Amino acid sequence: MDFTKLGNTCVIGLQWGDEGKGKIVDLLMGHFDVSVRYSGGANAGHTVIVGSETFALHQLPSGCLRPTVRCVITGGTVIDPAVLLGEMAALEQRGIDLSPERFKLSDRAHLVFPWHRKEDVLAEKTAHAGSKLGTTARGIGPCYSDKVSRHWGVRICEMQHPDRFRERLARIAAQKNAYFAAVYSDPETLDGKAIANEYLEFAAQLAPHVCDTTQLLRESLDEGRRLLFEGAQGAMLDVDHGTYPYVTSSSATGGGVATGAGVPLSAIQGRVGVIKAYSTRVGAGPMPTELADRTGEWIRERGGEYGTTTGRARRCGWFDAVAASYAANLVDPTHLAIMHLDTLAGMDELKVCVGYRCDGKIVNRFPADTYALEQAEPVYETLPGWDEDLGACRDYDALPKAARGYVEWISERLRTPIGMIGVGPARDQVIMVGS
């Protein structure tokens, strides 16, 4: 894969998150100048393994591990300043430079407040058994709701005016307290004044990093710098196109790049769709190919499928080509990065889902109706497996024939060429494919 041909590129998950975006961003970053996180917040958990060290990035772009690149968090994100400062301090202790010249944070990003985390937890706790979303409890949904409904959304730039900020927070806290008391009979009251003072301290620490990142990225584009946009979550968790309501609250498909980063569509040429060789999902919601059996457990243990953010066991299942084709149609990737091919070694045969049986009829279109999807039974084709350990493989032609057949099947099905194949978690455990 020739990275110089890609132009500015976004890395987007094509499933339900955790596809290996962090690893791909870290890998590609050697060929780019600016690392950009443009959506989501601390719900994301992107793992990058460098030598013997493992990094889990939540709000910072994964490119921050490459010393020469500039790192930018843009206005489409929701920022929990305490979590961000904690993440920065932990990385700085490990020798990562996050100086203000290098790391920039948008003044347009929205702030996550204690009432957002509280509402996330209370809404989940009190939801009817079948309608819990299984969120990450990071306050993401309530923060994006406040942003879109406008009265209670607060942006980072507002902390530049302490008196107004204190006043606003006192009013918002009063409203939130009334809401929690009325809806959840919750006796605790949040102290808007104390929260404002705490946030103003965070603001002082973050101030050297805060700027108009929309302008900064425009200048970077004009200077001919190469931008790598790092998606969070995955297409199937997109608020508009995912398995609603079992989704996150932001746009996790390609459109989210331009709106979240504040760059024009014309600025994005490459689109790397990251996809696992099987399916995983964490949290609630339909997953037609889920294997609630020993095969599912086998995949989980071999693939280390435990959440980077919450530590929850991920639900595992066969590759779902119906969902993946739908996601590929949404994103139109220029290349696929097919991850975790190594995890599947040792199976006699592998199943791939090519349709759903819904109400006695076989469909190969991904339905909008979540209830229909919950009832859908997967229709499988079977492909041959392989036994060889792929961890040391760096050359496409050296892959076992069945492994090549498997990824080629995915590539044809998704009508997208393969750019990279993951054969292990380490930075160098990847096969570069094609031009």
Q: Which residues are catalytic?
A: 18, 46
Give the x-and-dash track for 16-35 against Mg ion (CB under 5 A).
--x-----------------
Report the partner that residue 289 touches, choosing among Mg ion, ligand IMO, ligand GDP, none (CB closer than 5 to 8 A by kind). Answer: none
Report if residue 18 touches ligand IMO, rule: CB under 6 A.
yes
What's the min distance (Å) between Cβ of 82 and ligand IMO?
17
Binding site for ligand GDP (CB under 6 A): 13, 17-23, 45-47, 49, 303-304, 308, 339-340, 342-343, 422-425
Strands 377-384 and 349-358, bridge-based pairing: antiparallel
Structure tokens belonging to residue 260? 């979240």
Question: Distance between CA atoms of 311 and 307, rounded to whole angstroms?
Answer: 4
Considering only 43, 62, 233, 308, the residue that binds Mg ion (CB under 5 A) is 308
Q: Is residue 62 within 8 Å of residue 69, measured between CB atoms?
A: no
Q: Which residue is nearest to ligand GDP (CB)?
A: 422
Report the partner that residue 424 touches, choosing among ligand IMO, ligand GDP, Mg ion, none (CB closer than 5 to 8 A by kind). Answer: ligand GDP
Report if residue 248 touches ligand IMO, rule: CB under 6 A.
yes
Q: Which of 313, 302, 402 is nearest to 343 (CA)?
A: 302
In the block, tokens 């279109």 appear at 365
Report the partner that residue 138 touches, choosing among ligand GDP, ligand IMO, Mg ion, none (CB closer than 5 to 8 A by kind). Answer: ligand IMO
User: 309-346: string of b/e by CB count within 10 Å (b at 16+)?
Assistant: bbeeebbbbbbbbbbbbbbbebbebbbbbbbbbbbbbe
Complex with Mg ion: residue 16 or 152, whichever CB lies closer: 16
Question: Distance between CA atoms of 96 and 71, rounded to whole angstroms?
Answer: 12
Complex with ligand IMO: residue 58 or 402, whichever CB lies closer: 58
Complex with ligand IMO: residue 24 or 390, whichever CB lies closer: 24
Report if residue 339 touches ligand IMO, rule: CB under 6 A.
no
Complex with ligand GDP: residue 316 or 423, whichever CB lies closer: 423
Considering only 260, 270, 283, 303, the residue that binds ligand IMO (CB under 6 A) is 283
Q: Is residue 370 within 8 Å of residue 396, measured between CB atoms?
A: no
- Distance (Å) of CA 340 to CA 7, 145, 304, 343: 26, 35, 10, 5
Considering only 34, 237, 316, 345, the residue that binds ligand IMO (CB under 6 A) is 237
3-state secondary structure 8-61: CEEEEECCCCCCCHHHHHHHHHCCCCEEEECCECCCCCEEEEECCEEEEECCCC
Complex with ligand IMO: residue 249 or 411, whichever CB lies closer: 249
List of residues contacting ligand IMO (CB under 6 A):
13, 16-18, 43-46, 133-136, 138, 140-141, 232-234, 237, 248-249, 282-283, 308
Binding residues for Mg ion (CB under 5 A)? 18, 45, 308
